A and B are shown apart, each in its own frame.
Chain A
């Protein structure tokens, strides 16, 4: 889905019920992948995903047309994740354990386990932002406040690790 289409959906969100549904359908997987990559807990990620879309809905009234609407969605998802992580530190419940879903098919399990166990957080985030969200490396660099070369090397190093571990091209 192109940026232009997402921009259009966001602009019509409050007037047209189906816009929100379309937007949700088109973006929920990448948003969820991003949240998971940061939060690493499947159950909590589900809640954050829900909250993110509620915020998208509520914030859409002040949304103004932009060329990279995905960055706007990204900002909301990131804020929700940070809020969650901050609360965890606040309540001292923070656990660094990865919690994956109870049931999933073998392929999914293999990919997720590798993503969360072999890659470090930055590599995982850059890969998801680049290959799922379609962000360019200079955009990732800006969003994550890292240099372009770091973004590039994280991506290539991460993909190489995955390939080596799984023996396949992703």
Chain B
């Protein structure tokens, strides 16, 4: 046997079990893009022969044709095709070395824009500017004739979608239709980017004012597309899903931060891709035991770039949970979606506002104390209650109204209303008009067993 094979054989790891385990856990589908079979020579000749550009509103110096519109392509290199009224390429403009590499020695002038698009996409795939990881492409049709631009935009983006599918790449094509303005041109010139990319960045800045041209200009079109996911935009059409598979997924991010913070099952408030210093990062926010954590991680490597841990301040001014939120917290803890009956009271105890929730389910009574600000369960008890085979318990609210009726008061005249179930009677207590009332009511008959009315001090 081959000695080189033997050498590698002795050092190659064998861990099929762990691979199988991880493969089954891993979500999502993987598509493999293979180099397409070589096309015929005729096709190649055609490809080299034909790439073209779109024209627009100024006169091209090189030819007598008028530039009717410009079609811009951004992968990361940027290419612009100026075309004339017949949609033939008059001029090819490249923005950087990558653009020049894509063009290579192709002569696109004089060919129809569709043919040029075909050749450009082929070359972009071949040079590796589009693949299953970086699957974004930005098409910008720039010119004064809006209707016509729109037609070109639709046709070109459909063409490209088809072409990519031929190459087994699921592309995410952003396309836009814009008018050339001096403001946009100045920005594009200033940052050495294409007009199309300038418009895309402009759109993002409008959505999130903390973004600036400075920190977005170096991002690739693909990265910008990733940022765009978080926003609703209507001036840019996005066809096809942007691939984020080169980044870590949310579950990986979660396990990284949980490990770092040494917490389990925190409540996530935000996990979002964002941009920081020209790189794509995850912004993560979560809360555990009243402590708020904020992380920023490199989306590619998972390196933790920033973290902030802050104990939420308990203050009276903090927003309190509603009664129904408190009830939901208790029911989630009980793992039920409904209960037979319940009663809630908000109390102030040791500087903390808390909800006291009593819930009846089956022959059990659950008592919860829930922090009214943070929603954490401070204490809970479960107690068996006597059930009667032939008598139905009256509800908490019925007990309350029996007591109120007896005291000749209405609900809005009283404060500190509290109803508790104690074995086979309800204890109803409330305050009104300087008095404190206490009732004991039989849970089955609704009969008042005992009552007290004392001056409140």
Shortest beta-carbon distance from B440 to chain A in Å: 66
Residue in contact with B4 in the complex, picked from A54, A91, A127, CB distance below 8 Å: A127
Question: Closest CB of chain B to A57's CB: distance in Å?
Answer: 4
Chain A interface size range: 35 or more
Given A42-B11, A53-B23, A105-B10, A24-B16 contact (CB < 8 Å):
yes
Contact check, B8 vs A132: say whether CB atoms are below 8 A apart.
yes
B3 within 8 A of A: yes
**Alpha-carbon separation in the docked complex, A107 to B11 (Å):** 12
CB closest residue in chain A, given B9: A29
Q: Is B234 an interface residue (CB 8 A)?
A: no
With A59-B32, A83-B246 in contact, do A54 and B8 touch (Cβ < 8 Å)?
A: no
Asked whether A36 lies within 8 Å of B8 as measured between CB atoms, the reply is yes
Q: Are A58 and B30 in contact (CB under 8 A)?
A: yes
From the candidates B8, B23, B34, B303, name the one contacting A33 in the complex (CB within 8 A): B8
At the interface, yes or no: A71 with Cβ under 8 Å from chain B? yes
Interface residues of B in 100-135 (CB under 8 A from A): 131-133
Find out whether the CB atom of B23 lies under 8 angstroms from the CB atom of A58.
yes
On whether the beta carbons of B7 and A108 are closer than 8 Å, the reply is: yes
Within 8 A of B (CB), among A5-38: 17, 20-21, 24-25, 28-30, 32-33, 36
Query: Chain A nearest CB: distance from B365 CB in Å?
Result: 51
B contact face: mostly helix, strand, loop, or mixed: loop
For B20, the chain A residues whose CB sits under 8 A away are: 17, 20, 57
CB distance from A108 to the nearest CB of B (A): 4
**Contact status of A49 and B12, CB under 8 A, knowing A107-B7, A111-B4:** yes
Indicate if the CB atoms of A131 and B4 lie closer than 8 Å. yes
Asked if residues A49 and B13 are in contact (CB atoms below 8 Å), the reply is yes
Label chain A's interface by main secondary structure.
helix
Known contacts A29-B5, A91-B298; decide if A54 and B29 are in contact (CB<8 Å).
no
Q: Is A85's CB within 8 Å of the partner chain B?
A: no
Contact (Cβ within 8 A) A33 B298: no
Interface check A75, CB cutoff 8 A = yes
Contact with B along A55-78 (1 / 0, CB 8 A): 101110111000000011001100
Asked if A61 meets B29 with Cβ closer than 8 Å, knowing A50-B15, A53-B23, the reply is yes
- Interface presence of B31 (CB below 8 A): yes
Q: Within residues 250 to 288 of chain B, which ones have a CB less than 8 A from any CB in chain A? A: 279
Q: Give A124 Cβ to nearest chain B Cβ, in Å.
A: 10
Complex: A143 Cα to B34 Cα, angstroms: 10
Shortest A113–chain B CB gap in Å is 10
Given A50-B19, A57-B23, A62-B32: A132 and B298 within 8 A (CB)?
Answer: no
What CA separation (Å) do A57 and B14 show in the bound complex? 16
Per the 8 Å Cβ criterion, residues 13-50 of B in contact with A are 13-16, 18-20, 22-23, 26, 28-35, 38
B29-A91 in contact (CB<8A): no
Q: Does B2 contact A (CB under 8 A)?
A: yes
Residues of B within 8 A of A25 (CB): 16
Residues of B near A57 (CB, < 8 A) are 19-20, 23
Please, which residues of chain A bring their CB within 8 A of the CB of B14? Answer: 28
Closest residue to B14 on the A side, CB-wise?
A: A28
In the complex the two chains form, is B4's CB within 8 Å of A101's CB? Answer: no
Residues of A within 8 A of B18 (CB): 50
The chain A residue with its CB closest to the CB of B126 is A145
Any B CB within 8 A of the CB of A112: yes
Q: What residues of chain B lie closer than 8 Å to A83, measured between beta carbons?
A: 133, 246
A160 on the B face (CB < 8 A): no
Question: Is A156 an interface position by the 8 A CB rule?
Answer: no
Q: Which residues of A contact B11 (CB under 8 A)?
A: 32, 42, 101, 104, 108, 112
Task: Answer yes or no: A81 CB below 8 A from chain B CBs.
Answer: no
30 of the cross-chain contacts (CB-CB < 8 Å) are A24-B16, A32-B13, A42-B11, A50-B13, A53-B19, A54-B22, A54-B23, A54-B26, A57-B23, A58-B26, A58-B28, A75-B34, A76-B32, A79-B132, A83-B133, A87-B301, A90-B301, A91-B300, A101-B11, A104-B11, A105-B10, A107-B3, A108-B7, A111-B4, A128-B4, A131-B4, A132-B4, A168-B3, A170-B2, A170-B3
